[in-house]
Amino acid sequence: MRVLVTGGAGYIGSTVAQRLVETGNDVIVFDNLSQGHRAAVPEAATFVHGDLTNREVVDHTLAEHRPQAIMHFASHTLVGESMEEPFLYLDENVRCGVNLMRSAVEHDVDRFLLSSTANLFGTPERIPIDENVTIDPGSPYGESKFILERALHWLDETEGLTYAALRYFNAAGAAGPDRGEDHDPETHLIPIVLEVALGQREKIVIFGDEYDTPDGTCVRDYIHVLDLAQAHILALDALDDGSRVYNLGNGEGYSVREVIDTARRVTGCEIPAEEGDPRPGDPPVLIASSDKIRADLGWAPEHGALEDIIGSAWEWHQRHPNGYQGMS
């Protein structure tokens, strides 16, 4: 299949693009490199440097490359930033997604996969979070993804654009020693902890230690980026049988202290930590259910152990302490 991957120079998008290449697909990566890295694009993929805000560029790309499917990862993704700059998310995230959907319809692309978010559920009514939990986005970021999900629903109804939306919390780990996580600024717990191990940060701050959890720190669901990529491949292949929405989770949650303690064991480093004030709006526990995708598509995490997730990330960070900088 010929697949256009937007945001395919980013952490998750490049991992999925690589997996698509490995499974015999023809991949076109479309990215403006505002957050992604040219060195992360798989060598076998065709790269298009473009911006989804420019409809003319999007149309030209689809007309030239004639993809049969689109996988949409390009997005602003920071919950905190979306609270401070809501229009960056409610305008630009939505506009870019709709531009892409419009071009897909006009160029007869009938398969669309959206990288969505479990932030659709804000503070959920039950844990683990399944697809029937009431949607109540926790931020403008979550709202922007929900708007795109609803747009896809109606384009399925009116234009025959078959879609899948995959919702998940924390992608983690590295796809290999030379393919990993590199954000600026870095906001994710595991790479921040490993930056402390590398001496790039003085300490890790734990935001609150009096939550109603076993050790008082927040519990979150971490899913290895390779397992996440496999879920996207399976969902894309399943579109022959109609549109679908899936929540993705590892099946277990890990506390902030568990992550830090595991990183200490994996790295052999002390990793100083101190307690700080809790962040407003942080729920004590967030774990997603993946029962539906397991039943429908037979997906199951192969790298679910926290040691495996952190170990793969540690190998990447040791080999590339400055991320993709300097890599060709």
Q: What is the pLDDT of residues 111-142, one digit of tens each?
A: 999 999 999 999 899 999 999 999 999 999 99
Dist. CA 270–CA 285, nearest whole Å:
26
Distance, CA of 147 to CA of 90 (rounded, Å): 9
Give yes or no: residues 79 and 214 share one domain: no
Confidence class of residue 279 from pLDDT cuts 50, 70 and 90?
confident
Domain shared by 151 and 208, yes or no? no
Q: Which residues are the active-site residues?
A: 141
Count the Cβ atoms, other than its own, within 10 Å of residue 125: 11
- Is the residue at 327 inside a domain? no
Residue 36: inside a domain: yes
| Same-domain check for residues 78 and 117 | yes
Residue 326: inside a domain: no
Is 165 part of a structural domain of the chain?
Answer: yes
Domains contained in the chain, number? 2
Are the C-beta atoms of residues 247 and 118 closer than 8 Å to each other?
Answer: yes
- Asked if pLDDT for residue 24 goes beyond 70, the answer is yes
Q: What is the pLDDT of residues 217-252, one digit of tens each?
A: 999 999 999 999 999 999 999 999 999 999 999 888
Q: Look at residues 7, 1, 11 and name the one whose alpha carbon lies nearest to residue 182.
A: 11
Task: Using the 3D structure, point to which of 213, 247, 281 is the last residue of a domain.
Answer: 247
Residue 328 lies in a domain: no
Let me know the angle formed at the C-alpha of 314 by 289 and 181, rounded to the nearest 5 degrees: 65
Q: Are residues 134 and 214 in the same domain?
A: no
In a domain, residue 14? The reply is yes
- pLDDT at residue 328 in the model: 66
Mean pLDDT of 61-72: 98
- Residues 83 and 141 grouped into a single domain: yes
Q: What's the CA angle centered on 61, arms 112 and 25, to 5 degrees?
A: 55
CA 238 – CA 55 distance, rounded (Å): 29
How would residue 87 be classed by pLDDT, with cut points 50, 70 and 90? very high
CATH number at residue 105: 3.40.50.720
Average pLDDT over residues 98-121: 97
Q: If you average pLDDT over residues 54-67, what whole number do you get?
A: 98
Q: Which amino acid is at 282?
A: D
pLDDT of residue 327 exceeding 90, the answer is no
Q: What is the pLDDT of residue 282?
A: 85
100 domain-assigned: yes
CATH of the domain at 281: 3.90.25.10
Q: Which residue has the higher pLDDT, 44 or 80?
A: 44
* Burial profile 216-228: b = 16 or more Cβ within 10 angstroms, e = fewer: bbbbbbbbbbbbb
* Closest among 13, 8, 19 to 61, alpha carbons compared: 8
24 and 122 co-located in one domain: yes
Phi and psi based region of residue 63 (left: phi greater than 0; alpha: psi -120 to 50; beta: remaining): alpha
SS3 assignment, position 149 = helix
Angle ∠(77,121,79) on CA atoms, nearest 5: 25
Q: Does 90 share its domain with 197?
A: no
Residues 208, 158 share a domain? no
Contact (Cβ atoms closer than 8 angstroms) between residue 152 and residue 94: no
Residue 296 lies in a domain: yes
Amino acid type, 284: P
pLDDT band at 326 (very low <50, low <70, confident <90, very high): confident
In the block, tokens 């998750």 appear at 12
Q: What are the residues whose beta carbons fall under 8 Å from the beta carbon of 99, sequence distance 6 or more?
A: 52, 53, 55, 58
Instruction: Give percent of the chain with pLDDT exceeding 70.
Output: 100
Structural domain harbouring 110: 2-171+222-247
Same domain, 178 and 308: yes
- Pair 234, 265 in one domain: no
Q: What is the pLDDT of residue 310?
A: 98
Q: What is the 3-state secondary structure (H, E, C) of 273-289?
A: EEEECCCCCCCCEECEC
Q: What is the pLDDT of residue 37?
A: 98
Same domain, 242 and 137: yes
State how far the Cα of 111 lies from the Cα of 244, in Å rounded to an integer: 11
Q: pTM of the full predicted structure?
A: 0.96
Per residue in 196-220, pLDDT (tens digit) is 999 999 999 999 999 999 999 999 9
Q: Are residues 20 and 43 in the same domain?
A: yes
